[in-house]
Chains A and B, each alone.
Chain A
Amino acid sequence: MKNEQKRLPVFERSLLIAACRGAITKLLPQNQWHNPVMFVVYLGSILTTLLWLQSLSGAGDDSSGFILSIAAWLWFTVLFANFAEALAEGRSRAQAASLRKMKQQTPAKVLKEPHYGAAWTQMDSSTLHKTMVVLVEAGDLIPLDGTVIEGIASVDESAITGESTPVIREAGGDFSSVTGGTRVLSDWLVVEITVNPGESFIDRMISMVESAQRRKTPNEVALAILLVGLTLLFLLVIVTLSSFSTFSVAISGAGSPVSITVLIALLVCLIPTTIGGLLSAIGVAGMSRMMAANVIATSGRAIEAAGDVDVLLLDKTGTITLGNRHASHLWSAPDIQQSEFVKAAWLASVADETPEGRSIVLLAEQQNYLSEHDTDRLHEYFVPFTAQTRMSGIDLPDGRIIRKGAADAIRKHVEELGGQLPQALQIRIDEVSRRGSTPLVVSVGNIVLGVIELKDVVKPGIKERFIELRNMGIKTVMITGDNPLTAAAIAAEAGVDDFLAEARPEDKLQMIRDYQAQGRLVAMTGDGTNDAPALAQADVALAMNSGTQAAKEAGNMVDLDNNPTKLIEVVEVGKQMLMTRGALTTFSLANDIAKYFAIIPAAFIATYPQLSSLNFMHLGSPKSAILSAVIFNALIIIALVPLALRGVTYKAIGATALLNRNLLIYGLGGIIAPFIGIKLIDMLLTATGLY
């Protein structure tokens, strides 16, 4: 399902038909009420229809054919706006439908007691609730989101991530959370359910997509208020205009007042129907675009905040550099045999299952210094890496304590045991660091044996992305546990603006706070439980789906593909959504100028014929002028539907250039387009000879 929705064409046939149907059903007053701008048009349509019925009896407000045409086009205006909204919702629903396929009823084995081997009863996943414990065995679907409390298993999460490689899920640590709807491939897991039915991850996702009445984002609310304000303003203009017109007729003793039909037409043309009709579609489309990128935002607010971000904290590994480092060199210390060092390096890593560890083992084995070992037994002596010691290694039964870790960690370690880090090796360490590689120092007891060089590979194309980000005014900060020298080298190679070396989770949190205190909005990615405080503090926090439940709860977006680089796309989608809104608002307002020049002379010509000199568009007749403006006003909504759904193209060229560009297209374009459009429609109408 990963890429299925991405290339969904704007006007997909099946969706079009559904949207047309939706446009009609949305005509019910309760559906119209929530959009005040369109509600005014809706009332206008009803009123003109009534005026038309009245005119049939001969005592009309205007000629009945004219009223009918205006009424019809006002109804079209309402329908077109409904259509845009229905289409956007339809596209979202199509996305949701494919997600819902995953959410079948799943049988669950509920354990009587929360450990493996206890008796279980079969229940349906829909009857599960929080804190229940279930057993999931090879071949079973995980019924609901939960945390592994016992066991280790490989899980196929492709239903969520689209990634076919199975992932390991185990109790404790950062890989303990499992998602409902994914399948266990081998072994078994005891899972404590952490959500109630209907609240699971996919549930939330689907409900968010499906709810047409989604919560409005802060900016959307502000814009809606502006639009209501403008609508009231024009309502005031039109209402007072009708009495001004009557008064003018009285004091000039000539002509006739403006008809109600014309006033309604003028009102509808002036109120911001273009943006009013498309606003909700833009929001839904923004959400859809996020989903097409396999990112679920817990709220529209988060997407909007993404557009505002000006600092990106990016973890080096996986975001800036390709997944994992690999050992590229084994540099022994002076006076130490290469074979001795290689053996120690191998021993220190043989039980280390991390990719780095495996790459060290591989490199050591290639150097042909090793004899056979009983690798199975060695696992028992393994000392895993901890954030406190920042070392890992092995305590052999013969009393040898082998450690590998960052230079300063090992230095501290050997100094505690009465040894020291040789000066010559320090030079080597610095050299390795300067190359942007990570030096991993190996010691046996209090003797330092040498340095393993771990090479980082910067992701191709990432440098260009950072240049783009800089142009957008976004600062990039690389977060890494590496020492400052290594970090500086990689930072330079990748082209980030700043870096935080030897970062601990609390440093990350502090850094976010510092940036926020400077008045910046910070975005970051994270997956571990120790990232949670920082994720919660950041303005935009993209958690990886593979991460812990804590991380996902702390973040406001989850990436199903577990690709931290996606943060950049998230920012772009946020910006695109805001730009689309801004562009259409400006366009809508700019349109009014031409509509005034079409309608004002036409409306008052009956009272003051001299006002016809304002009709510099030379529109055929007052009636054709007014009708042309109304028709243009309706058609422009349909014409802009693709733009609203696809979004205005974002270009990373800096705010000033972007402003100039968009002002030219949507501002100036918005002024000019209706002059041309209305004139063309008027020519057509005049050609028919009806007006």
Chain B
Amino acid sequence: MLITIAKFAVVLALMTGLAVIMGMYLARVFNLGSHSLAERQTYRLLGIDASTEMSWSHYALALLMSNAVMMLLGYALLRLQTWLPWNDLNIAAQTPDLAFNTAASFITNTNWQAYSGETSLSNFSQMAVITFLMFVGSTSGIVAAAGFMRGMSRSSAQAIGNFWVDFTRTTYRVMLPLSFVMALLYIWQGIPQTLDSSAVVSTLEGAKQQLIVGAVASLESIKHIGTNGGGFFSMNAAHPFENPTPLTNLLHILSMLLIPAALTYTFGSMLMKRKQGWVFFGTFLVLFIGFLALTYHAEQTGNPLLSALGADQSVNSLQGGGNLEGKELRFGIADTSLFVTTTTGATTGSVNAMHDSLTPLGGLVALAQMMLNCVFGGDGVGLINLIQYAILTVFFVGMMIGRSPEFLGKKIEAKEIKLVMLSVLAHPLCVLGFTALATVWPGTLDSLNNLGPHGFSELLYAYTSGTANNGSAFAGFNANTPFFNTTIGLAMLLGRFFTMLPLLAVAGSLAAKKTLSESAGTVPTATPLFMFLVVFIILVVGGLTFLPALALGPLVEQLLMLSGQTF
């Protein structure tokens, strides 16, 4: 137990240290005045004037349109897979609904996979569609955050930066070098990186076995750095080729948290309010630690029904104990819990265990983190979501000091609240709305692996994962039907852009406002009290919204399990 806590502490300390370094670097990248040779060439090639800046609406439009074009490209490639190179296994093209779902999934940084990589994608598609869109999707998130932060840092300004410049810089200076280094580390740890599609090996019994391989290391690096999560293999990071050693497991976790955590520091740095950055980091961390503790506790306690049958689930010198169903023994409870909390917190969706087999409470944590969508959150969008809650918090409590609410020197008025509420509403609208639609859809019951509350949880999990742009799944659920491909695809698109765009508009609106000076009469936001208030508002707003659904899913499942019934 103590060793586990120490282990968690070391990981989080490492993460914090790396976040500071990365945060400083990101702030430099976003604020840089000059352009490198490669960047200048790119701008010339694409006809971009790097010196002009865009208003929020231009910035958002550039983001939206470029993403739309890339998504369309991805869709086309998936549909034309059979005619494209590096398809040694002659894998068929994806159906229209599946290709829509896949393209939407990867452009929105969700990486929900209604297919299984080994049997549905060629090596070309893995690289040209999957890995490529992983870069575009995650970079777009970071770039949105860059524009957002720049907007917040400005006073009486119309522009929030140049989207193309931010995108090029983030790609050249952050994502590509980082992914390259990580890929080399992964190759060193034994992750395959080859253009071959399969390797034939002799098993111990002397039989021949065909193992699927490919450009796994390069996919694996951006998959975690970009909080993407889409696996090369269906087993995702539980597969030995995706996650061969404890070190790669640690590197995966650190990669996932790196940029979302670093952006809090970057925020503080760009706004010259370092303490505020730390308060946001603290907000993430408090939520993360709370959920990690819950998951670990739930998984380590295991299933009480098994104990009643005489199984020993306790921790002792001979065994790790706990609920090991659906987990890799080589990772054990602690590393799995940490991975589960990280991947659903940072909305990556990569998994090193089957979430369907988590205890109901463990599954509840995974669901809850995606519902809140701001426990570190995805690259860029996590911070944006958190600030949305911070603005809401300021509005709720700020008036109690007798001033109209302001956040970081900007008045929060009708326009901002309208946009924030739009974003706050869009998320549950997709999660609950689509789930409700699915509950009345005639074919739904056929897709469920389980009945009872667990069946409902599977459904709820699918839409939550899609909307939160997470991508992990309760594996028993068959999502590859036209209905689910379409609705989950829509949930992913709406969930991403209906939170990102309104908040970019908020940044634009705040940039245009004058920054008011702070005085003894301003509500202090860079304090531990404010941190806990934000945590409280996140939990209350999120809790009030999703508790009824959770009550009918994992919550009642846990209670049923305690009374002796499982699903």
Asked if A and B bind, the verdict is yes
Do A252 and B425 touch across chains, with their CB atoms under 8 A apart? no
Rounded to whole Å, the gap between the CB of A219 and the closest CB of chain B is 4
Closest residue on chain B to residue A592 by CB atoms = B544
CB contact list, A502-528 vs B, under 8 A? 516, 518-521
CB of A219 within 8 A of CB of B404, answer yes
B563 contact set on A, CB distance < 8 A: 610
A604:B448 contact, CB within 8 angstroms: no
Nearest chain B CB to A611 CB, angstrom units: 6
A586: chain B residues at CB < 8 Å are 396-397, 400
A225-B523 contact given A243-B440, A248-B453, CB 8 Å threshold: no
What separation, in Å, do the CA atoms of A219 and B405 have in the docked complex?
Answer: 8
Between A and B, 18 residue pairs with Cβ closer than 8 Å are A222-B405, A223-B395, A226-B417, A229-B424, A236-B429, A240-B436, A244-B552, A246-B440, A251-B448, A472-B402, A516-B514, A520-B519, A582-B401, A586-B397, A589-B396, A604-B551, A607-B552, A611-B555
In the complex, the chain B residue whose C-beta lies closest to that of A585 is B396
Within 8 A of B (CB), among A648-667: 650, 654-656, 658-660, 662-663, 666-667
Interface residues of B in 66-86 (CB under 8 A from A): none
Docked Cα-Cα span, A588 to B404, in Å, equals 18
Q: B557 → chain A, closest Cβ, in Å?
A: 9
**B545 at interface by CB-CB < 8 Å:** yes
Q: How many Å from the CB of B488 to the closest CB on chain A?
A: 16
Task: State which of B396, B416, B547, B556 has its C-beta within 8 Å of the C-beta of A610.
Answer: B556
Classify the secondary structure of A's interface with B. helix
Of B169-177, B197-205, B375-383, B406-414, the one contacting chain A is B406-414
Give A242 to B225 CA distance when docked, in angstroms.
40
Cβ B400 vs Cβ A218 within 8 A: no
A578 near B402: Cβ-Cβ < 8 Å = yes
* Cα of A353 to Cα of B476 in the assembled complex, Å: 96
Chain A neighbourhood of B400, CB < 8 A: 579, 582-583, 586, 658-659, 662-663, 666
Residues of B within 8 A of A123 (CB): none
Q: Once bound together, how far apart are the Cα atoms of A372 and B436, in whole Å?
A: 101
Q: What B residues does A244 contact at CB under 8 A?
A: 435-436, 439, 456, 548-549, 552
With CB as the reference atom, state the residue of chain B lying closest to A228: B421
Q: Are B520 and A472 in contact (CB under 8 A)?
A: yes
- Flag whether B398 is at the interface (Cβ < 8 A): yes
Q: Which residues of B (422-476) have their CB < 8 Å from a CB of A?
A: 422, 424-425, 428-429, 432-433, 435-436, 439-440, 445, 448, 451-453, 455-456
A304/B519 in contact, CB under 8 A: no
A576-B523 contact in complex given A225-B414, A244-B456, A246-B439, C-beta closer than 8 Å: no
A557 to B414, CA, bound (A): 24
Question: Cβ of B36 < 8 Å from any Cβ of A?
Answer: no
Within 8 A of A (CB), among B501-519: 514-517, 519
Candidates B401, B517, B548; contact of A600 at CB < 8 Å: B548
Please name the residue on chain A nearest to B521 by beta carbon: A473
Q: How far is the CA of A284 from the CA of B29 in the complex (A)?
A: 51
In the complex, whether A474 has a CB less than 8 A from a CB of chain B is: yes
Q: How far is the CA of A225 from the CA of B552 in the complex (A)?
A: 30
Residues of A within 8 A of B404 (CB): 218-219, 304, 307-308, 578
Range of interface residues on chain B? 35 or more
CB–CB A222/B412 < 8 A: yes
* Minimum CB distance partner of A662 in chain B: B400
Decide if B559 is an interface residue (CB 8 Å cutoff): yes
Residues of chain B lying within 8 A (CB to CB) of residue A576: 402
- Which 6 A-B residue pairings sit nearest by Cβ, starting from the closest? A473-B521, A582-B399, A575-B402, A229-B421, A473-B520, A247-B439
The residues of A that contact B453 with a CB separation of less than 8 Å are 248, 251-252, 608
Asked if residues B399 and A650 are in contact (CB atoms below 8 Å), the reply is: no
B560 on interface, CB distance cutoff 8 Å: yes
When chains A and B are docked, how far (Å) is the Cα of A574 from the Cα of B560? 54
Cβ contact within 8 Å between A310 and B521 = yes
Query: With an 8 A cutoff between CB atoms, is A234 at the interface?
Result: yes
Please indicate the chain A residues that have their CB under 8 angstroms from the CB of B413 in the complex: 218-219, 221-222
CA distance A569 to B452 in the complex (A): 62
Pair A655/B523 contact, Cβ less than 8 Å: yes
Give the nearest-CB partner of A517 in chain B: B514
Docked complex Cα distance between A222 and B433 (Å): 26
What B residues does A230 contact at CB under 8 A?
421
Measured in the bound complex, the distance between the Cα atoms of B396 and A663 in whole Å is 10
The answer on a CB contact under 8 Å between B516 and A471 is no
The reply to whether B433 and A240 form a contact with Cβ atoms under 8 Å apart is: yes
* Complex alpha-carbon distance, A245 and B405, angstroms: 39
A residues in contact with B533, CB < 8 Å: 663
Q: Which of B435, B519, B522, B559 contacts A608 (CB 8 A)?
A: B559
> Closest approach, in angstroms, between the C-beta of B536 and any C-beta of chain A?
8
A252 (CB) vs chain B CBs: closest residue: B452
CB-defined interface of B533-567 with A at 8 Å, one 1/0 digit per residue?
10000001001110111011001100110110000
Q: Which residues of the other chain, A, contact B517 by a CB distance below 8 angstroms?
A: 310, 518-520
A676 near B: Cβ within 8 Å? no
Residue in B395, B401, B409, B544 whose beta carbon sits within 8 Å of that of A270 in the complex: B544
Residues of chain B contacted by A475 (CB below 8 angstroms): 519
Given contacts A229-B422, A472-B521, A582-B398, 14 further A-B contacts (CB under 8 A): A222-B405, A222-B413, A232-B425, A233-B425, A233-B428, A251-B448, A251-B456, A307-B403, A471-B520, A473-B522, A519-B517, A575-B403, A582-B399, A658-B401
- Which residues in B have their C-beta under 8 angstroms from that of A236? 425, 428-429, 432-433
CB <8 Å contact, B402 and A574: yes
Flag if A655 contacts B524 (CB, 8 Å).
Answer: yes
Q: Is A581 an interface residue (CB 8 A)?
A: yes
A535 to B417, CA, bound (A): 31
Least CB distance, A248 to chain B, in whole angstroms: 5
Given A589-B396, A608-B560, A654-B520: A596 and B544 interface contact (C-beta under 8 Å): yes
Given A244-B552, A596-B547, A659:B401 Cβ within 8 A? yes
- Among residues of B, the one whose C-beta sits closest to the C-beta of A579 is B402
Across the two chains, which residue of chain A brings its CB closest to B412? Answer: A222
Q: Which residues of A contact B35 (CB under 8 A)?
A: none
The smallest beta-carbon distance between B118 and chain A, in angstroms, is: 32
* A396 interface residue (CB < 8 Å to B): no
Which B residue sits closest to A217, measured CB to CB? B404
Encoded as 1 (CB less than 8 Å from any B CB) or 0, chain A from 587 to 626 comes to 0011011001000100010011011011000000000000
B275 close to A (CB within 8 Å): no
The answer on a CB contact under 8 Å between A248 and B456 is yes
Contact across chains for A241 and B549 when beta carbons are under 8 A apart: yes
Q: CB of B28 within 8 A of chain A?
A: no
Q: Contacts of B424 on A, CB cut-off 8 Å?
A: 229, 233
Closest-by-CB residue of B relative to A588 is B396
Contact with A along B226-263 (1 / 0, CB 8 A): 00000000000000000000000000000000000000
How far is B520's CA from A310's CA once the two chains are assembled, in angstroms?
A: 9
8 Å CB contact of B516 from A240, A251, A519: A519
B330 CB–A CB distance under 8 Å: no
* Contact between A604 and B425, CB atoms less than 8 A apart: no
Asked whether A239 is an interface residue with its Cβ less than 8 Å from the other chain, the reply is: yes
| Interface residue? B529 (CB, 8 A) | yes
B-facing residues in A446-497 (Cβ within 8 Å)? 470-475
Give complex CA distance A521, B433 in Å: 44
Q: Which of chain B's residues have a CB closer than 8 A to the CB of A50?
A: none
Chain A residues whose C-beta falls within 8 Å of the C-beta of B516 in the assembled complex: 310, 519-521
A592: chain B residues at CB < 8 Å are: 540, 544
- Tell whether, in the assembled complex, residue A229 and residue B425 are in contact, meaning their CB atoms are under 8 Å apart: yes
**Which residues of B354-384 are within 8 A (CB) of A?**
none
Minimum CB–CB distance from B154 to chain A (whole Å) comes to 13
Q: For the complex, is A237 an interface residue (Cβ under 8 Å from B)?
A: yes
A222→B412 CA distance, assembly (Å): 8
With a cutoff of 8 Å between Cβ atoms, the chain B residues found around residue A589 in the complex are 396, 540
A241 to B551, CA, bound (A): 10
Instruction: Kindly provide the distance from the CB of A259 to the nearest chain B CB, expressed in whole angstroms.
Output: 15
Contact A310 B399 (CB under 8 A): no
Q: Contacts A241-B549, A244-B456: A225 and B540 contacting too (C-beta < 8 A)?
A: no
Query: Are the CB atoms of B435 and A229 closer together than 8 Å?
Result: no
Known: A237-B544, A600-B551. A225 touches B421 (CB 8 A): yes
